[in-house]
Amino acid sequence: MQSGIHPAYEPVVFRDRAADFAFLTCSTATSDATVEWTDGNTYPVIDVEISSASHPFYTGTARVLDTAGRVERFECRYGKREAR
């Protein structure tokens, strides 16, 4: 890699305020806000709106759509598709 053209890859804390969840990882994202982590060090913190702790897919609260009912309604309105 060429030196001097790549952004700094440093530890950053991503915090989901809705779920009261935070995790430490490395990223090129930066922030002026900081937070003291459990290891006693201070890291930049980036607040996110949604994470795996609050996303419906990961928490198991996702809604399942009734696709069979929709297909049946469509077929009733417009008829079944003819075989070729």
| CA gap 70, 84 in Å, rounded | 23
Segment 53-70 mean pLDDT: 67
Work out the number of other CB atoms within 10 angstroms of the CB of residue 9: 9
pTM: 0.63
Phi and psi, residue 16, nearest 5°: -100, 105
pLDDT for the residue 53: 78
In this model, does residue 57 exceed pLDDT 70? Answer: no
Give Cβ neighbours of residue 29 (< 8 Å, ≥ 6 apart): 12, 46
Q: What is the mean pLDDT of residues 69-82?
A: 77
Whether the predicted pLDDT of 65 surpasses 70: no
Q: Which two tokens stand for residue 69?
A: 């009912």
User: Other C-beta atoms within 10 Å of 13: how many?
Assistant: 21
2-16, 43-57, 65-79: lowest mean pLDDT where? 65-79
Residue from 70, 54, 71 nearest 62 by CA: 54
pLDDT at 3 over 70: yes
> What pLDDT score does 33 carry?
95
